[in-house]
Amino acid sequence: MRTVFEAAGGNDGLRRLADAWHRRVMADDVVAHAFSHGFHPQHVERLAAYWAEALGGPPTYSDSYADETTVVKMHSGNGEHDDMDRRAIACFDQALADVGLANDGALRQVLHDYFAWATTTTMSRCHQSADDVPNGLSIPHWSWDGLQA
């Protein structure tokens, strides 16, 4: 059985998706606020590598960039932001359509479910302070059946 990573087009497909999502969020008045402090010049490439690893691809993100603790800390300490999360998820769903990944219903659903879960669970785990993020976190892995234990 193909991994979600493979079904999404591998590294190239997820790079296109990350680029489409990034363009969508930068055009969204609410979600763009998350990037108002700036962002890494290789944000799209890093995001694609993160998603690739989470969805069954190579461990490029962990091997070359950072671990899950670093990612969660980067998204922590900003208070609750449910509206921003909802809008980021909507931008993701639109980005799926932008790159042609919404045409396969099963793939669209698993990617939506992954992104919605990651946005509202792992990335939102420490609203009050990045200091609350535990050390040693690993990137969660997601398959056709959801979160892998």
Each residue's pLDDT tens digit, 63-116: 998 887 777 767 555 656 678 889 999 999 999 999 999 999 999 999 999 999
- What is the predicted pLDDT for the residue at 75? 59
Distance of CA 88 to the CA centre of its chain: 10
Domain with residue 62: its CATH number is 1.10.490.10
DSSP 120: I
Name the residue with tokens 């932008």: 98
Structural domains of the chain, count: 1
3 state DSSP class of 45: helix
As a whole number, the mean pLDDT across the chain is 87
Average pLDDT score over residue span 140-148: 96
- What is the predicted pLDDT for the residue at 49? 96
The pLDDT-based confidence of 143 (bands split at 50, 70, 90) is very high
Q: Which structural domain, as residue segments, surrounds residue 85?
A: 4-147
DSSP element (H, E) containing 126: none
- What is the predicted pLDDT for the residue at 76? 57
The pLDDT-based confidence of 129 (bands split at 50, 70, 90) is low
The distance between the two most distant Cα atoms of the chain, rounded to a whole number of Å, is: 41
Q: Which of 40, 21, 42 is nearest to 32 (CA)?
A: 21
**What pTM value is reported for the model?**
0.89
DSSP element (H, E) containing 41: none
Of 1-10, 11-20, 39-48, 74-83, the one with minimum mean pLDDT is 74-83
- What is the predicted pLDDT for the residue at 81? 63
Cβ partners under 8 Å of residue 49, min gap 6: 11, 60, 61, 64, 65
- What is the predicted pLDDT for the residue at 119? 87
Average pLDDT score over residue span 17-22: 97
* Angle, CA 72 vertex, CA 69 and CA 78 arms, to 5°: 140
Distances in whole angstroms, Cα of residue 91 to Cα of each of 3, 56, 74, 138: 23, 23, 20, 26
